[in-house]
Amino acid sequence: MKKCLALLLLVPSLVFAAGSSVPLDKANFDLTDKASLQNGARIFMNYCLGCHQMQYQRYQRTFTDLGIPDELGQEYLQFTGEKVSDYITSAMPAEAAATWFGAPPPDLTLVARVRGADWLYTYLRTFYVDETKTFGVNNKVFPNVGMPHVLQGLQGTPRETYEEKMVDGELTPVYVGIKTDGDGQLNAEEYDQAILDLVNFLEYSGEPGRLKLESIGKYALIFVCIFFVFAYLLKKDYWRDVKK
């Protein structure tokens, strides 16, 4: 059953304008790691697509780029009878989403390019229990975000952790991180890797042709260097005649 990873349930402009004073962790994603991308796609299709969509990305392009046979992709990553040539869209009606959450969940095709991989990686790992909020959770990177933490089943119940430290001569509780109750399906390292895989997939979706373009760019630079050598030699040959 699809679950909704409501990354950002506020108005998109407010979402992308929100800042953070929390240091961001480095997301060491690898667009050449097909296994990571495939797992990220699985997490997205199962936990994100219920609310969000990638309306500029097709299933077939995704399957091809990630090395997933169309038949397997349709069986394990498509859940509502879409064609393999369809765009990756959510089944949630926009009007209903606006009523439930105050605004339709934004499209996530370009979220990694807008927000950055480090922001997403840190954001998805800094939810914590806050009973004062509508969904019972808050977030260190995006305080007061109006969304549930649907990956809690994987992570476990996350809670803020503080330690008393001397600050200006007084013992003061200082935030040191998020720890879980150990009741999730994954341990801390496995959960971090799952989030990194998801971020890797979101990074890919923002620019599917990135690896190919980088490869073409290298060949283009090599051509320019070779052309420069020949142009320089030709210039010297011409000027030799002029000087005579």
Q: Is the pLDDT of residue 32 over 70?
A: yes
Query: What is the secondary structure of 177-225 as a DSSP string?
Result: EEEE-S-SSS-HHHHHHHHHHHHHHHHHHH-TTHHHHHHHHHHHHHHHH
Q: Residue holding tokens 């002029």?
A: 242
Find, among 72, 64, 176, the residue nearest to 126 by Cα: 176
Query: What is the secondary structure of 35-71 as a DSSP string?
Result: HHHHHHHHHIIIIITTT--EEEEEHHHHHHHHT--HH
Q: How far apart are CA 73 and CA 71, in angstroms?
A: 5
- Report pLDDT for 19: 53
- Report pLDDT for 125: 96
- Tens digits of per-residue pLDDT, 130-184? 999 988 999 999 998 878 898 999 999 999 998 888 777 788 888 888 999 889 9
Q: How far apart are CA 160 and CA 127, in angstroms?
A: 9
Q: What is the pTM of this model?
A: 0.79
- Tens digits of per-residue pLDDT, 181-220? 889 999 999 999 999 999 999 999 999 887 676 667 777 7
- Report pLDDT for 18: 47
Q: How far is CA 50 from CA 6, 7, 84, in A?
A: 9, 12, 18
Domain spans of the chain?
A: 12-151+188-208, 212-244
Q: Which of 11-20, 104-113, 132-141, 204-213 has the lowest mean pLDDT?
A: 11-20
Of the pLDDT bands very low, low, confident and very high (cuts 50, 70, 90), residue 5 is very low
In CATH terms, 12-151+188-208 corresponds, of 1.10.760.10, 1.20.58.1910, 3.30.70.2390, 3.30.2040.10, to 1.10.760.10
- Report pLDDT for 141: 94
Q: Is the pLDDT of residue 10 over 70?
A: no
Q: Are 148 and 1 in contact (CB under 8 A)?
A: no
Residues linked to residue 185 through DSSP beta bridges, in sequence order? none
Tokens of 169: 């001569």
Q: How far is CA 107 from CA 13, 47, 94, 104, 175, in A?
A: 12, 14, 11, 9, 33
What sign has the CA pseudo-torsion 224, 226, 232, 235? Answer: negative
Average of per-residue pLDDT values in the chain: 85
